[in-house]
Structure 1
Amino acid sequence: MKAKLTAKYTELKRIHKKWIMVLADIAILPISLWAAFSLRLGTLWPNTHISQFWWLFVAVIPTAILIFARLGLYRAIIRYIGSKALYAVLNGSVLMSFVVWSLVFISREPGFPRSIPIIFALVLMVLVGGSRLVVRWLYNWVNVNFASREPVVIYGAGDSGMQLVSSLQKGKEYLPVAFLDDNPQLWGHSVHGISVYCPESMDEIFKSMNIKRVLLAVPRATKKERKVILDKLEPFPVHVQTIPAMPDIVAGLATVDQLQEVELEDLLGRDPVPPKKELFEACIKNKVVMVTGAGGSIGSEICRQVIQANPNKLILFELNEFSLYAIERELLKEIAKSNLNIKLLPILGSVCNANRVEGVIAKYNVNTIYHAAAFKHVPLVEHNIFEGIRNNVVGTKTVAEAAHKLHVNHFVLISTDKAVRPTNVMGATKRLAEQVIQNLAQQSSTIFSMVRFGNVLGSSGSVVPLFRKQIAAGGPVTVTHPDITRFFMTIPEASQLVIQAGAMAKGGDVFVLDMGASVKILDLAHRMIELSGFEVKNDDNPEGDIAVEFTGLRPGEKLFEELLIGESVIGTEHPKILRANEIFVDISEIESSLSAFERAELSFDAKQARTVLEKVVSGFKPNSELVDLLQ
């Protein structure tokens, strides 16, 4: 019954709700004045005084309604009523005390008790303010006990938590019922009428309130702090979501109630090191910069970072038409938004087309090249060996030789940890590309360097979006091997470090990024399942929700990746960038190998091509059968 009445009241138009509040106050005003006489005179029915001052009962009604209206009391939404509305009640009651005293003073009628206005103000304050608090409590009580909204717990009772509560209370999907917070001073108190609990009591809270979802409202927390919170929540079958990061909220790019899934960087607990301005701008500011593979995962992010350093021109060199269109539109929007004076040049072309590459570099007098164009998907390159060699090795050689010929100042190759003791064609081609650069660096005025790092979060082929889709579909989540591990880094962090590493190069440098600890993919799958509110289904828990299935290593895939070929590595002026010293083969051997590749391609002899790769790339040991689709 109460739920139906509350629902009917909620569905009323705003004007009708205002009139209900006005009518309630019209009834409360004479009752308050009568109560003041009764309390002052010590009798329930002070008939003599009431009959003498009957006109006062009539006069206070329109006067008080006008005062409360001017103070904004009738603009307040009762179910969200806060201190501002209660101040209006307090101020209105005090003003009405003066009104009553003034009216009696003007009338000069004898026998009026002088304390009546003060008692009247106190009673009016209690009845007008109390009536609204009772309605708010009733509304919330009915919602908690009868509404169909999902009860949620908010982790973080600070400003963001309070904003989130206000937003959720206006909606019809989630009902905040408790706060968790690490601040002991808040424990036992309430925020917006919601109790704040110690995180150690979350087990009891989740069970007693039937909580299936926890919302993180800690946008200012560091990655390490967020990881600590997630570690606490992981054992419980609750779906953990988070509000956007504070910079996005402040910039107006997101609102506090736009809930998001927990990102992998939160699980890793990596706090990126802010870029050093002098390194970040050294090869970019007021220069002509060219990014090959500008539409790819890494290339597009390098472009985003480059425009922050304000180049004169940015050349987007890309073979894929749609990818080039997409990144151009995005960057044009950002350039206009930030009022930057940067000329953007979208150029379609293949890195294997020497004439096209040289033409672009010569026409625009390019100062810096970030070479991100490559085929990186291990199984696909195993199936298409010759295209992998052509794009990754010949393409790199073509662009690098053009840079040398036309005296480009800096050339930075984006490499990979798979180039270290490779077990697949992709890794071997990237190592051979590194050696091309190392050879050119010995004879060129161009400063050549290469930056080697592991997997980046959110790149094409990353396991994270795949796991999310599989979890959303109810599983199973597929992992290639129970012991497989990978290094992970965010795309923005990797791109910033690539740019800074290039600025530190002296020629022929092999830079290695500090990727932190490697992550076991099986553990990652388990955490993503559990933080999505599900239980892992396995032999120990056959009643679980989502199972993990092992599909076996794909062609060329390694159990673990490495970043160094040798043991010789030294630090640099940046704590996340290391410099490796590694041997390489002579350029004549590379040229001979490329000629052998061409001859093998004429007869589609992929076996011979892979054999040549094994000879020229030290440490290349294929771990799978030949699976080229044209063999």
Structure 2
Amino acid sequence: MDTIRTTRKYILMIADIILINVSYILAYWLRFNFNIPSHELVIFKNNAIIITIIYLLIFCFFKLYKRLWSYASIDEFMLVVNACILSNLLGIIYSFTLVPRIPLSVNILSGMITILLIGGFRMSFRIIKRYLDARVKHHSGSSKRVMIIGAGKAGTIIVNEMKLCSEVNYLPVAFIDDNKYKVGTRVAGIEVMGTRNDIVKLAKSLSIDEILIAIAAIDGATKKEIIDICKETGCKVKLIPGIYEIIDGKVTLNKIREVNFEDLLGRDSVKLDMEGISDYIEGRIIMVTGGGGSIGSELCRQIIRFKPKEIIVLDNYENNAYVLQQEFKRNGVNENIKYVIASVRDKDKLDLIFKKHRPDIVFHAAAHKHVPLMEDNPSEAIKNNVFGTLNLVNCADKYKVKRFVMISTDKAVNPTNIMGATKRVCEMIIQSMDKRSETQFVAVRFGNVLGSNGSVIPVFIDQIKSGGPVTVTHKDINRFFMTIPEAAQLVLQAGVFAKGGEIFVLDMEKPVKIYDLACDLIRLSGYIPNEDIEIKFIGLRPGEKLYEEVLTEEEGLNQTAHKKIFVGKPTFDDFDTLMVKINEFRKIVEKDDREEIVSKLEEIVPTYRRFEAEVAMTECV
């Protein structure tokens, strides 16, 4: 390898020596109208070696012999220009010491010609490489024909990299851009062939394999509209990163990602009241239970932005806590984070933890959440969700925590499953304890979280990768969805409005049909639903509803200062009666008697209707 590098360096030097001297000869030729006086040639001949050495030394100083010119960019070309200008200036200074000297006009002309010859010679390596790579790609049956949506800076960067990298099997074929003035022009050598209205037609006529959306500053609604059009083509669809990575110059082919269902929600990023959140987070000790889970870990990532005094990550599962710990260590933000392995069921251990760390704010995200599993393990749902929450609430009250925010679920509304019923009991604990405590207790209720552990999206993606079938419980079933960052940010925002006893409801906009979700993911993977990938209906699972709700009838709905957060009025405040019933659970749970557990839940939560789930299941299978 060293031999090849050295040989290449000497070849470039020899070429430069020739081109430098040719530049001066051409300059003389132009200066003297194609008839160079013999005495002028003698002057140049006597000084050619010195001038050449000046150029070579400057070229070495600019490290022109250590660059791979087949991958040269405008930066390398400007380096050549600067090196030639400096060399020419030094050459002019040297010529003034001569008697007789080289004419100034010859020196200036030779400098300009040197830039053209030296720069052109080096850039020719890239031109030749690009030409050869293009021929290979055009004649290669394995190259993917790509349509790029967005003929702006991001699209230009991506196309240039596709052309530059022979290792990638992308062949850019056409640009699409909604700016009609660009249509018919060429960007990075690729024609802008139409607007978004032409995507389907052009994808078919040009035999496009993949569509790349390369618009950095794109809002959620526009992204969704374009993706919806792309779904009709049957092509695989991919995206580039967002605007900040474009600004940082980090857009490369390996940053291109698959379209995921978050892109199909068509939402813009949540705008936070940074000052309000900072007021109750900054400089305080924050505890996050379930801190290693999907929501808990994202809460920790968001909280760290607001400069808390300390974060206590409490989790029963050491692997989750370890993964989060390593992430924060890599990002250099691990100094004020403590990791505590403990279960919310362990009342005595929780008391010690609260006594030691004295948290100011508690975000309670620890819970058993999987509906079918909790149907089969009702005693565990009671122990973890109900008793665990009660343990935390009592500790928060005892140690005078300022604010306690519990993560709840839309399944707590008119529940038809044990998990939802236990979370409704947790809400009742929160609301009733708030009436007798100095701590502000509130709950935040939202639906399914995209990408969380065990959620439907990763399951569908794995099924698609395996060739199907994709399993859907019922064709009409729908769910509210949020992204993990959305959920965590809105939980923090809801804490700003907490006065005590509220149940905050996060606006998840329109519910999404799970069948449509499955079809979209199949299409965006480049397949046709029920042709390439089968969609199989397997019937509702125990405790599962066709439609989720976010409020009970009596809770009502009021707008907060944030357009994405609503608040329901408190509906339960009888803490003593609730405690009597919850304490009766302890003996029932010890016996692990499902029927008694369900009966007690029906007694505590009047809106819990297990028979509705069973009837619905029978009708839908």
Same fold (TM over 0.5): yes
CA RMSD of aligned residues (A): 4.2
For the structure 1 residues 414 and 34, does the alpha-carbon distance in structure 2 shift closer, same or farther, using more than 3 Å as the test?
closer
- The alpha carbon displacement at 1:452 in A equals 0.5
Aligned to 2:220: 223
Give the conservation status (yes or no) of the 8 Å contact 1:381–1:425. yes
Aligned to 1:272: 269
Give the conservation status (yes or no) of the 8 Å contact 2:200–2:232. no
Cα deviation per residue 1:239-277 (whole Å; 9 max; x = unaligned)?
223333444677899967433222332221211332212
- The alpha carbon displacement at 1:181 in A equals 3.6
- The alpha carbon displacement at 1:371 in A equals 1.5
3-state SS, counterpart of residue 283 of structure 1 = helix
> 1:561 aligned to 2:551?
no
3-state SS, counterpart of residue 559 of structure 1 = coil
Aligned to 1:290: 287
- Within 1, Cα distance between the matches of 2:239 and 2:540? 34
Match of 2:501 among 496, 503, 508: 508
> 1:155 aligned to 2:152?
no
- Within 1, Cα distance between the matches of 2:70 and 2:191? 17
- The alpha carbon displacement at 1:94 in A equals 12
- Within 2, Cα distance between the matches of 1:558 and 1:315? 36
> 1:368 aligned to 2:356?
no
TM value normalised by structure 1: 0.81
For the structure 1 residues 189 and 129, does the alpha-carbon distance in structure 2 shift closer, same or farther, using more than 3 Å as the test?
farther
3-state SS, counterpart of residue 415 of structure 1 = strand
Match of 1:139 among 117, 129, 153: 129
How does 1:245-324 map onto structure 2 within 5 Å? 245-247=242-244, 257-324=254-321
Aligned to 1:173: 168
- The alpha carbon displacement at 1:333 in A equals 5.1
How does 1:233-244 map onto structure 2 within 5 Å? 233-244=230-241
For the structure 1 residues 195 and 363, does the alpha-carbon distance in structure 2 shift closer, same or farther, using more than 3 Å as the test?
same
Aligned to 1:619: 607
For the structure 1 residues 391 and 128, does the alpha-carbon distance in structure 2 shift closer, same or farther, using more than 3 Å as the test?
closer
> 1:535 aligned to 2:535?
no
Query: What residue identity is the alignment partner of 1:172?
Result: E
For the structure 1 residues 28 and 488, does the alpha-carbon distance in structure 2 shift closer, same or farther, using more than 3 Å as the test?
same
- The alpha carbon displacement at 1:384 in A equals 0.3
Give the conservation status (yes or no) of the 8 Å contact 2:149–2:215. yes
Residues 25-34 or 512-521, more deviating: 25-34
Aligned to 2:448: 455
Give the conservation status (yes or no) of the 8 Å contact 1:223–1:265. no
3-state SS, counterpart of residue 302 of structure 1 = helix
- The alpha carbon displacement at 1:375 in A equals 0.5
For the structure 1 residues 599 and 67, does the alpha-carbon distance in structure 2 shift closer, same or farther, using more than 3 Å as the test?
same
> 1:590 aligned to 2:582?
no
- The alpha carbon displacement at 1:389 in A equals 1.5
For the structure 1 residues 132 and 347, does the alpha-carbon distance in structure 2 shift closer, same or farther, using more than 3 Å as the test?
closer
3-state SS, counterpart of residue 504 of structure 2 = strand
Match of 1:417 among 410, 415, 428: 410
Residues 17-26 or 384-393, more deviating: 17-26
3-state SS, counterpart of residue 470 of structure 1 = helix
- Within 2, Cα distance between the matches of 1:291 and 1:612? 30
The total of aligned residue pairs comes to 603
Aligned to 2:514: 521
Query: What residue identity is the alignment partner of 1:536?
Result: I
Aligned to 1:6: none
5+ residue gaps, structure 1, are: 1-9
3-state SS, counterpart of residue 266 of structure 1 = helix
State the identity %.
Answer: 37
- The alpha carbon displacement at 1:564 in A equals 0.9
Cα deviation per residue 1:179-200 (whole Å; 9 max; x = unaligned)?
4444445444444444444344
Cα deviation per residue 1:204-253 (whole Å; 9 max; x = unaligned)?
65456543233343333333333233233222233223333444677899
Residues 58-67 or 361-370, more deviating: 58-67
Give the conservation status (yes or no) of the 8 Å contact 2:183–2:195. no
- The alpha carbon displacement at 1:34 in A equals 8.4
For the structure 1 residues 70 and 378, does the alpha-carbon distance in structure 2 shift closer, same or farther, using more than 3 Å as the test?
same
- Within 1, Cα distance between the matches of 2:57 and 2:538? 69
TM value normalised by structure 2: 0.82
Match of 1:570 among 558, 573, 577: 558
Cα deviation per residue 1:461-504 (whole Å; 9 max; x = unaligned)?
11222222222223222222222211111222212221221232
> 1:198 aligned to 2:170?
no
- Within 2, Cα distance between the matches of 1:485 and 1:552? 14
Query: What residue identity is the alignment partner of 2:321?
Result: L
3-state SS, counterpart of residue 517 of structure 1 = coil
Aligned to 1:213: 210
- The alpha carbon displacement at 1:388 in A equals 0.6
- The alpha carbon displacement at 1:130 in A equals 5.8
3-state SS, counterpart of residue 536 of structure 1 = coil
How does 1:386-405 map onto structure 2 within 5 Å? 386-405=379-398
